[in-house]
Structure 1
Amino acid sequence: MHEDELVSPIRKGAHDIALDRERMRRRRVYRLAAVVLAAEAYVIVSALLGRDPLPSLPAVDPLVLVPVLFFGAMLLLLVGTQVGSARSPHLTYRPEQVDVRLDDVIGIDPVKEDVRRSIDLFQTHRQFADQMGGTPRRGLLFEGAPGTGKTMTAKAMAAEAGVPFLFVSATSFQSMYYGATARKIRAYFRALRRAARTEGGAIGFIEEIDAIALRRGGMLGASSSRTLVGAASAGAPGLVTNAMMSEGTGGVVNELLVQMQSFDEPTGGDKAYNRLVAAVNLFLPATRQIRQRRPGRAPILLIAATNRADSLDPALLRPGRFDRRLTFSAPDAHGRRALVDHFLARRAHDAELDDPVARDRVAASTNGWTPVMIEHLLDEALVNSLRRGSLTMSFQDVETARITEMVGIGQPVRYTRAEQELIATHEAGHAVTAWLVAPNRSLEVLTIIRRGESLGLLAHGDCEEVWTRSQGDLRALVQIAMGGWVAEELFFGQTTTGPASDLAAATRTAAQMVGAAGMTGSLVSFLATEKPLVDAVVSDGRAREQLEQVLEDARATVRRLLSRHRYLVEALRDALLERHELLGREITDVLVAAHEAATRASGDVVPQLADEPSRPAPAALPLAGPTV
């Protein structure tokens, strides 16, 4: 059965939102018709009675009118200032004004499926509550890095549901006047309820909600006491420090918590009716009491977005407020390929970018990129095509844009000859080490062109998309970081300040092996402390010794490798001095040619060390990765 045919029973009926919108539309038409008929009847009766339907204006002395208008304007200005400071700062978008649908949300299929289910529950809220006895979702929290599609998804949900979209930035609630922030929050939720009752439903969206909903002082740092054992982790969890929140901030959070429970607040008419009924019931016996009106269920879905979900107040994250937390991550390889197809369909490009292999290479080379970053990459590729006088982008334009985005804009080489040789040797040491010890990594960019604060760099990455690192992978990264330091020592007899950042990178990776992953004998995790990982490892005597041993072993291994393969370093160094920058296959071509030349000169295969892995053929697909 096709996926589109797997429709739940609740989706087969008419949507509650659509029925409510049609009923309210007819009610507005009837009211307008009644007003028009009453006005027409008044005009006809006035004509039959011979009276002027519009009363004449009284004569007013200008000397009296001017002061009255002046003081009226001053009073209006004063009242307007007070009213304006408490006005909701939201923007309302009608469904037809939103130009994005869920089909335009690409690369986040797991989240997209849950979003579709949330829309179905929202559109059939009455059936879900009355027929099935469930409680409809009232709030969704979108968390994730910037540019992963949180705002775009929220807009698409409103367009798919066919209801107004009330967008507001959390910072726009803030005010310099005491109490104005809470009044703006109340006004926003009041507008949300009004739109839901008028239009049959409404979706509210608060951008960067952490601006007004940070954890209050005295609240627990974790919203759950549940312990998970045996869960694989892709990285170290971040630590959130409890900061003392001011009384004003706590009041804002309290107001937000209260308003998120106010979706079923009775309308003004219901309140007046219930007050009248309550007054009448005081005179009636208990058996003759008039029943008051119950508040109706307002079809509202509140969505909030943040990239700091761990710092939000725990009371916000309980069911009944934000019932669902959806994490927006960077898309995987399949998601990036879908994004490339989606964005290229709207941009002028050469025929070579219609080749599936070329598109696969673009998707593979943007590992870890968000949808916004991929879209920006193709825009920069169009800029590159304009610079060379073309109206369509080529694959080379995309590669040039990607390298610029990854390592920055290059500056002309203006080093002295000695500095060029030193920097070229240093970077060649990194590249040769990576080629020898890490067969699963692809060499991206090798350059001695200055980019930002970097005099030269090697960019390398995984040949395949991976989510965990083995002990061998981390040791290889430490060895690659040591490659430049060892190359300087071997070829010049001393080192410079150039490897300072390399040693810092090697120390951080080795600290993860020692203090977080249990790869050096000790099972104590320093992530359980409040200190940063490197600080905790360095300050512990035994852990520091293990850290020093990991770094020393890596240096010794790299020294043996580069001593045995000096010809590879020399070949890359000479190529860098000649061309200044090597990209992708250009790097591996130089290494393969030097290896084959050395093999022919010696008449045999150049021997490898016992701990040196066999090197496969150069990877065909370059991937973005960390820089050294």
Structure 2
Amino acid sequence: MTSTSKKKLLIIVAALGIVAGSCYGIYAWKDAHSDQGKQISYTAFMEKVNAGGIAKVKIAGDQINAVGKSGEKFQLFLPAGAELADTLVAKKIDFSSNPAASEPKWFEISIILLVALFLVMVLKRYGGVGRSKARIIDCSESLTRFNDVAGAEEAKAELLDTVEFLKDPAKFSALGGKMPTGVLLVGPPGTGKTLLARAVAGEADVPFFSISGSEFVEMYVGVGASRVRDLFAQAKKAAPCIVFIDEIDAVGRKRDAAVGGGASDERDQTLNQLLVEMDGFAVNSGIVVLAATNRPEILDAALLRSGRFDREVTVGAPDIRGREAILKVHSKNVPLSPEVDLMVIARGTPGMSGADLANVVNEAAILAARSNKDFVEMLDFDNAKDKVLMGAEKKSMVLSDKSKLSTAYHEAGHVLVAKLVPGCDPVHKVSIIPRGRAMGVTLQIPEEDIYCYTKEMLLAHLKVLMGGRAAEEIIFHTTTTGAGNDLARATDTARKMVSEWGMSRAFGPVAFGHQENTDGGGKKGFSDSTALEMDNEIRSIVTTCYADVRTLLEENLDALERLTQELVVKETLDAAEIDTILGLTTADDAANASCCAAA
């Protein structure tokens, strides 16, 4: 029996319960009131009996219902101790006697009605619990096209085959070709995976079923599998179509027999049903499953095998030309000043995703509107970029002179190390105005997109992170909690250098992976003794970098003081101002420590 049939049956049962309860209440009420007549006293009743005016009597407990010879009805109550039966027999009056009549069972009736009402409410809430929660967008509503997706040219090219297949499945089957039944979109958050899926549906002009992986799983075992069946049953009726499962890692995680519990059982059943449905497609059935995730490494191997998700399309962060195209898409309805150069903005936003860039354009428009401008200017984009990268300024937060000076030394330490150590990303701006959760911010922006980091670049990054704490310790002979985030990031980078990237002399080119396996087993991929050696190596890398930074800053205390004092006065310094303070004229001079020391 299908979930729909069960729902209809339960509704019928609930309705019959309500009807039965209502009928019982009406019958009980009629039964209790059917023999009621004129209320008379016992004395008057006995006078009528002695006079021969009573034809019939019905006694129920202490209640008497009588009918006169004229048809008139009477009702009274028998007094305690009164004897009536002998008198009625002597007068030859027809009478009957029953136990006391029960009162209408209103309590039982109320219970029946409340239970029936509760069943109706439960059916309304959970009657469709096994139905798919997918949002269906038909052809007329699929307005997204590939032109609306910028910065993902390679991904769009890979998805063109899917579009052609959905438009004309017979074209491929005629030559014996079999199109992939599933395409997995992989990439970090905000890179446009969902938008790409919508664009495929729009280009192919087919219905689009959209659902999140978490919407399959409920606390009730078997519900997720039922929803998967219902989703694909709807898709088969609407074929050709696209089924899009966002965040599929919520339901497609690797199965582990060692992990028990209802939640795990429900997730495994849901995954098993998904595997069955995807494997049961007929050749060129017209259904394409698109799924998105930013954690492909935790997906079950059975889900990724050929015949299910045949293709994996990587949707990464856009390059400089992609960022410019994304900015053009999001700013097409924004009035821009003639001075605005989107390429300059794109060059200063490496690593940003499409969602980040959309946020920059939106924030710039808001800042311009707040200043009552008719156009969005380049300054608005610069401020918006800083807000997205560093957080909003907390101008209402007033720092004491001591806290302000400590923050200035901390940020000056970051800046000076970034200027002195070769291989560091250029410093774009430094500020001691509190932003977000930080008391101060040093913003570094690489000159070009970086896709692979060398060991030297990572060590330089570690040293910049250590610069703030080292400056505080040199000047104040103590440390503060302000360096907590810097230390956490430095330790994480050092751990990856040792365990994942093979950049440790102690272990060589060996990758140990994460501390915990991703298959859910919770076991380490290495022994406890190896873990201890790794901890020692991580500590050695971090402390060595810290010692080098202390020495570097101690040799350039004059430059540190100049940067700090200017920060205290101006609160924010850009790249040009920093170079002027340090006596640098070109970017190449920034890598020369002797220039800084002599300034």
Q: Is TM more than 0.5 here? A: yes
Map of 1:369-448 to 2, 5 A cutoff? 369-412=352-395, 414-438=398-422, 440-448=424-432
CA contact (8 A) 1:181 1:252 kept: yes
Structure 1 residues 561 and 511, CA gap change in structure 2 (3 angstroms): same
Q: What CA distance in whole angstroms lies between the structure 1 residues aligned with 2:466 and 2:284? A: 64
Aligned residue number for residue 232 of structure 1: none
Aligned residue number for residue 217 of structure 1: 256
Whether 1:319 and 2:306 are equivalent positions in the alignment is yes
Structure 1 residues 120 and 544, CA gap change in structure 2 (3 angstroms): same
TM-score, normalised with respect to structure 2: 0.70
Structure 1 residues 505 and 538, CA gap change in structure 2 (3 angstroms): farther
Shift of 1:192: 0.8
- Structure 1 residues without counterparts, runs of 5 or longer: 1-62, 220-240, 265-295, 597-605, 616-628
Whether 1:136 and 2:120 are equivalent positions in the alignment is no
Q: What CA distance in whole angstroms lies between the structure 2 residues aligned with 1:490 and 1:80? A: 68
- Provide the aligned C-alpha RMSD in A: 3.8
CA contact (8 A) 1:138 1:322 kept: yes
Shift of 1:178: 4.6
CA contact (8 A) 1:538 1:544 kept: no
Matched residue SS, 2:209: strand
Shift of 1:308: 2.9
Q: What CA distance in whole angstroms lies between the structure 2 residues aligned with 1:579 and 1:318? A: 59
Structure 1 residues 579 and 81, CA gap change in structure 2 (3 angstroms): closer
Aligned residue number for residue 269 of structure 1: none
Aligned residue number for residue 340 of structure 1: 327
Structure 1 residues 556 and 344, CA gap change in structure 2 (3 angstroms): same
CA deviations on 1:271-325 (whole Å, 9 max, x unpaired) are: xxxxxxxxxxxxxxxxxxxxxxxxx953211212222332233222112121112
Whether 1:298 and 2:298 are equivalent positions in the alignment is no
Structure 1 residues 136 and 571, CA gap change in structure 2 (3 angstroms): same
Whether 1:207 and 2:246 are equivalent positions in the alignment is yes
Structure 1 residues 481 and 536, CA gap change in structure 2 (3 angstroms): farther
Whether 1:113 and 2:157 are equivalent positions in the alignment is yes
CA contact (8 A) 2:151 2:323 kept: yes
Matched residue SS, 1:578: helix
Aligned residue number for residue 272 of structure 1: none
CA contact (8 A) 1:428 1:484 kept: yes
CA contact (8 A) 2:219 2:263 kept: no
Matched residue SS, 2:288: strand
Structure 1 residues 505 and 607, CA gap change in structure 2 (3 angstroms): closer
Whether 1:255 and 2:298 are equivalent positions in the alignment is no
Letter in 2 for 1:317: L
Q: What CA distance in whole angstroms lies between the structure 2 residues aligned with 1:211 and 1:518? A: 31
**Whose relative contact order is higher, 1 or 2, with alpha carbons under 8 Å and at least 6 apart?**
1
Structure 1 residues 375 and 613, CA gap change in structure 2 (3 angstroms): farther
Structure 1 residues 161 and 539, CA gap change in structure 2 (3 angstroms): same
CA deviations on 1:564-612 (whole Å, 9 max, x unpaired) are: 332321221111111112234333333237x99xxxxxxxxx9998xx4
Aligned partner of 1:123 among 135, 151, 167: 167
Map of 1:502-513 to 2, 5 A cutoff? 502-513=486-497
Matched residue SS, 1:194: helix
Name the stretch that deviates more: 561-570 or 313-322: 561-570
Shift of 1:145: 2.1
Shift of 1:142: 1.6
Aligned residue number for residue 154 of structure 1: 197
Whether 1:364 and 2:408 are equivalent positions in the alignment is no
Shift of 1:552: 4.6
CA deviations on 1:53-85 (whole Å, 9 max, x unpaired) are: xxxxxxxxxx99x98xxx9x9999998778633
Aligned residue number for residue 562 of structure 2: 571
Whether 1:168 and 2:155 are equivalent positions in the alignment is no
Whether 1:98 and 2:82 are equivalent positions in the alignment is no
Q: What CA distance in whole angstroms lies between the structure 2 residues aligned with 1:202 and 1:444? A: 48
Aligned partner of 1:451 among 435, 440, 456: 435
Matched residue SS, 1:444: strand
% same residue: 30
Shift of 1:482: 2.6
Letter in 1 for 2:489: A
Structure 1 residues 243 and 110, CA gap change in structure 2 (3 angstroms): farther
Larger Rg: 2
Matched residue SS, 2:442: strand
- Structure 2 residues without counterparts, runs of 5 or longer: 1-18, 24-112, 517-523
The alignment of Structure 1 onto Structure 2 pairs a total of residues equal to 476
CA contact (8 A) 1:526 1:537 kept: no
Shift of 1:153: 1.1
Q: What CA distance in whole angstroms lies between the structure 2 residues aligned with 1:560 and 1:84? A: 68
Structure 1 residues 333 and 250, CA gap change in structure 2 (3 angstroms): same
Aligned residue number for residue 267 of structure 1: none
Aligned residue number for residue 33 of structure 1: none
Matched residue SS, 1:110: helix
